[in-house]
């Protein structure tokens, strides 16, 4: 009788070992749901574009940080060394029109006033020939929409996916008010009848932005 019970116990134990439920496998959260394109870059509102540029620089081993909303003095991103000293600055322009020599010259002026020897100018458009020539010997790295997409695609699949998730999370096309850090509302002018972006805090904040027409 004892031997029968022992044999039955062993069989039950063996069955239990075989049918033990394994924990569910972890999902791959790095799988991207889309591809990086120039069209996606053009669709980003200005604040989201800054966040993408900020993360892109971090992914390229820069100790980068975004400046706060409001008066940034023309500096959108600061890059620091290990001791916390600012060694480079970045400016991000979510424009459709070309960046001219006027804009990059102003940026170089900011670098000079801050005594910064290196700068990054990142744009959703392109740069005029004069702007490129001006920056040639100024230690300013120009990254237009084509450069950014090309460089992002050189990142690992995991980094591309993370950057894509940052870019497309929630409402990434409606612009943010530069003063209030709130999503703006599309309004229509009483006289002109044209559309524009107005701050949700109007009339307390009267900041407006043009509605971009992406071709």
Q: What is the mean pLDDT of each run of 10 residues along the chain (215 residues)?
A: 45 40 38 80 97 98 90 88 96 97 98 97 98 97 98 97 97 95 90 87 91 75
pLDDT at position 1 is: 47
CB contact at 8 A, 211 and 193:
no
pLDDT score for 150? 98
Phi and psi torsions of 46, nearest 5°? -60, -40
Domains and CATH numbers, the chain: 38-172 (3.40.1350.10), 174-215 (2.20.25)
Residue 132 has what pLDDT? 98
pLDDT for 194 equals 85
Q: What was the pLDDT predicted at 2?
A: 43
Are 186 and 197 in contact by the 8 Å Cβ rule? The answer is yes
pLDDT at site 69: 75
Q: Decide: 149 and 41 in contact? Cβ < 8 Å.
A: yes
């Amino acid at each position: 009788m004892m031997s029968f019970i022992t044999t039955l116990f062993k069989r039950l134990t063996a069955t239990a070992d075989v049918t033990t439920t394994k924990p569910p496998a972890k999902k791959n959260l790095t799988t991207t749901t889309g591809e990086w394109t120039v069209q996606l870059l053009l669709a980003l509102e200005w604040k989201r574009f800054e966040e993408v540029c900020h993360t892109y620089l971090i992914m390229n081993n820069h100790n980068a940080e975004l400046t706060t909303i409001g008066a940034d003095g023309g500096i959108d991103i600061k890059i620091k060394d290990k001791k916390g000293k600012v060694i480079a600055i970045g400016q991000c322009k979510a424009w459709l029109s070309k960046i001219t020599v006027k804009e990059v010259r102003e940026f170089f002026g900011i670098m000079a006033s801050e005594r910064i020897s290196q700068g990054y100018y990142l744009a959703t458009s392109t740069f005029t020939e004069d702007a490129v020539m001006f920056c040639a010997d100024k230690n300013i790295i120009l990254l237009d929409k084509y450069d950014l997409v090309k460089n992002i695609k050189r990142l690992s699949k995991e980094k591309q996916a993370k950057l894509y998730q940052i870019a497309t999370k929630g409402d990434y096309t409606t612009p943010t008010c530069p003063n209030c850090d709130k999503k703006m509302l599309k309004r229509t002018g009483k006289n002109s009848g044209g559309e524009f972006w107005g701050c949700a805090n109007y009339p307390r904040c009267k900041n407006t932005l043009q509605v971009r027409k992406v071709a």
